[in-house]
């Protein structure tokens, strides 16, 4: 059975959830949106990467876990030149082994205007 996890993040107008759980597995998605207003944050890739990871953290916490429960992270960025800044922020949050498996993909664009990065993640709860 699939269960929607209430994250408290501003809801999307699209038919999507920020987090769902099936048994001990959790799937998450995060964009660089302020969790209260739903507005895309400004400040470049570092600010947007930080907000994405913090939104993932909100989702996994609401499901009963922590970032250490993530087993896979997929990152979509619109400019490969942003990879070093994104990686610097990523290192602040993922500091101990085992790190999540990760894929970073450069895409032509993301759906929301001004969005530089989007992340999806999968986790396993204890």
Encode pLDDT of 77-101 as tens digits.
Answer: 999 999 999 999 999 999 999 999 9
**Length of the chain, please?**
126
The CATH number of 2-124 is 3.30.1330.40
Quote the tokens at residue 75.
Answer: 């990152």
d(CA 49, CA 30): 10
Pairing of strands 70-77, 101-106: parallel
Residues of the chain with pLDDT > 70, as a percent, come to 100
Quote the tokens at residue 14.
Answer: 């699209």
d(CA 53, CA 70): 11
**Predicted local distance difference test score (pLDDT) of residue 89:** 98
DSSP-derived 3-state class of residue 57? helix
Domain definitions of the chain by residue range: 2-124
- pTM metric for this prediction: 0.96
Question: Do you find a cis peptide bond into 98, omega within 30 degrees of 0?
Answer: yes
Q: What are phi and psi of 112, to 5 degrees?
A: -85, 135
Check pLDDT > 90 for residue 13. no
């Amino acid at each position: 059975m699939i269960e929607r996890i209430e994250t408290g993040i501003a809801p999307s107008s699209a038919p999507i959830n920020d987090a769902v759980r099936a048994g001990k597995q959790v799937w998450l998605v995060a964009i660089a949106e302020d969790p209260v207003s739903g507005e895309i944050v400004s400040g470049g890739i570092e600010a947007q990467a930080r907000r994405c990871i913090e939104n993932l953290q909100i989702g996994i916490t609401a499901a009963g876990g922590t970032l250490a429960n993530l087993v896979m992270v997929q990152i979509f960025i619109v400019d490969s030149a942003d990879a070093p800044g994104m990686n610097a922020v990523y290192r602040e949050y993922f500091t101990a082994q085992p790190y999540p498996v990760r894929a970073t993909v450069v895409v032509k664009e993301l759906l929301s205007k001004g969005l530089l990065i989007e992340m999806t993640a999968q986790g396993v709860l204890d």
